[in-house]
């Protein structure tokens, strides 16, 4: 009976850790830039957590990426992530390259012709969160904001 109680507690802890959301969407802004629009997306990363960079050196790690739902005729020309920080996970010797605290992603949108740029951006942040001890399953954060 005591063993069943500990198994239930163990599975509840595992379940909680795998469903936590260590990232939140903060804001979006835009500005015209030549023949396109720059969209600045900002995300807050909870204390004690970090995200794999957009170009992790280990192919087994999940890169951070952004997807946008755009109207027909509007395209992503470029996505720029900030420089990643070097981080050493407990018990490892290979550094990870991560984002922590705040993440600002800059996306350059271009139009094919006379299509108006959207006033609202809908999208998804794909990421793999880690803390000082381990990395968690990949996550998705859906967001929507006026720009």
Cα 53 from Cα 55, distance rounded (Å): 5
According to the model, what pLDDT value does residue 3 have? Answer: 56
Per residue in 52-63, pLDDT (tens digit) is 999 998 888 899
Cα 127 from Cα 22, distance rounded (Å): 10
Residue 141 falls inside a structural domain: yes
- Whole-structure pTM over 0.85, yes or no? no
Residue 116 falls inside a structural domain: yes
What is the domain extent for residue 82?
22-146
Per residue in 24-48, pLDDT (tens digit) is 999 999 998 888 999 999 999 999 9
In whole numbers, what is the pLDDT of the chain averaged over residues?
A: 86
Residue 53 falls inside a structural domain: yes
Residue 12 falls inside a structural domain: no
| Spatial contact of 25 and 143, defined as CB atoms under 8 Å apart | yes
CATH of the domain at 46: 2.60.40
Pinpoint the alpha helices (H) of 69-141: none
The yes-or-no verdict on residue 96 having pLDDT over 70 is: yes
Q: Enter the DSSP assignment of 132.
A: S
The yes-or-no verdict on residue 134 having pLDDT over 70 is: yes
Going by pLDDT thresholds of 50, 70 and 90, the confidence category of residue 14 is very low
Residue 9 falls inside a structural domain: no
Work out how many domains the chain is built from and give that number.
1
Residue 2 falls inside a structural domain: no
The yes-or-no verdict on residue 15 having pLDDT over 50 is: no
Closest CA to 28 of 117, 139, 135, 132: 117
Residue 54 falls inside a structural domain: yes
Residue 16 falls inside a structural domain: no
Closest CA to 98 of 45, 56, 42: 56
């Amino acid at each position: 009976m005591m063993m069943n109680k500990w198994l239930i507690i163990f599975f509840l802890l595992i379940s909680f850790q795998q469903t936590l959301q260590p990232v939140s969407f903060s804001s979006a802004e835009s500005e015209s830039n030549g023949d396109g629009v720059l969209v600045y997306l900002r995300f807050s990363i909870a204390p004690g957590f970090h995200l794999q960079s957009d170009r992790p050196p280990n192919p087994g790690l999940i890169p951070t990426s952004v997807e946008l739902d755009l109207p027909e005729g509007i395209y992503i020309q470029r996505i720029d992530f900030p420089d990643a920080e070097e981080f050493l996970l407990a018990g490892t010797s290979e550094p990870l390259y991560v984002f922590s605290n705040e993440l600002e992603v800059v996306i350059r949108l271009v139009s094919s012709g006379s299509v108006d740029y959207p006033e609202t951006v809908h999208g998804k942040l794909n990421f793999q969160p880690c803390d000082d001890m381990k990395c968690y399953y990949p996550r998705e954060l859906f967001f929507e904001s006026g720009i």
